[in-house]
Amino acid sequence: MSSKTFIITCLILIALNIYLFVSAPPPLVEAKPAGATVSIERVFTMVEAENDAVRALWTQEIVGTGKKAGLKFNEDWREPGIDAGPLPALFLRETAMSLEKNPVRLSLFLGSDYPINKANRFGGIQIEKFRLLKLSREPQFFFARDTGLYTAMYTDEATVEPCVECHNEHKQSPKNDWRIHDVMGATTWMYPSQQVTFDELMKIITALRQGFRDAYAAYLKKVGTFADPPPIGEKWPREGYFLPAADIFMAEITRRTSAPTLAALAKAVQPSAATELVIPAFVPDPKSQPVQTIAFPPSQVSAADTVAPSR
């Protein structure tokens, strides 16, 4: 690695590190990495990795240990008088609903060929790709002409017995012989562009993390209506009948996801040798320190000095 390559790589990591580790980053200002784009397949891989980590956190640390502590989780959790929270698939739905309200055009849903909710049934090219997904268990990337969106599907497997039991016993389930490790559905991401700029990539990650926060905030809002609400603060259900505050929950998400996301981003950003590379230097508080940019003129950035993409 040349010295220029090392310096540029470090600066990208520093900028991304500052950006991802603040809980509420300021708006992008003059973040125009001309020629630096990332394929949507790589973006899908990044957001899916973050989603996997958050879903594991929710399933294990909130639902799993929460049930042992006395918390309840139910598909009808939003109904008045039901003192319960969302099941893992419904937490994903809450995240998806937040994304729908965001101007960033990243879409997310959990579909299947045997869904409990008929609205989640795959059709057209989606069902074809889902069949391939079930056979290979490898992510499927494709362009859906009917929607005009680039799409990625990832397996949603039955990893714990409660999921299997719930689907097998549900009165609206079209299939009642699910087994552990079956592919029950696919986490599906969609976006309108094949390539995204560094600016767009940052906004996508920000929108997704806002979706996680909104999903958890919706749960805490419902908890406030419980007849016997658990204390909300720094403690987790593994410590008893408690729930972490939104900031504590998001801090744990950051701890679990930011390092791998930073590594993936550093590998994915490939500045053009013929254009200026501008890396946004984000700051936690825009009132106390102006947002700056670090720019490299085209003459100082050669093809040998760019950050090579992963294969």
pLDDT (0 to 100) of residue 247? 96
Pair of tokens at residue 275: 């254009």
Question: What is the pLDDT at residue 232?
Answer: 98
Report the pLDDT value the prediction gives residue 298, as an integer from 0 to 100: 32
* Res 279: pLDDT: 33
pTM, to two decimals = 0.77
pLDDT by residue for the chain (311 residues), tens only, comes to 444 444 444 445 545 554 554 444 444 334 444 567 899 999 999 999 999 999 999 999 999 999 999 999 988 999 999 999 999 989 999 999 999 999 999 999 999 888 888 888 898 899 999 999 999 999 999 999 989 999 999 998 877 676 777 788 888 888 888 888 888 889 999 999 999 998 899 999 999 999 999 999 999 999 999 999 999 999 999 999 999 999 999 999 999 998 888 888 877 765 443 333 333 333 333 343 333 333 323 333 322 222 222 33
* 127 Cβ contact partners less than 8 Å away, ≥ 6 residues apart: 113
**Residue the block writes with tokens 């508080």:** 285
The CA-based diameter of the chain, rounded to the nearest angstrom, is 66
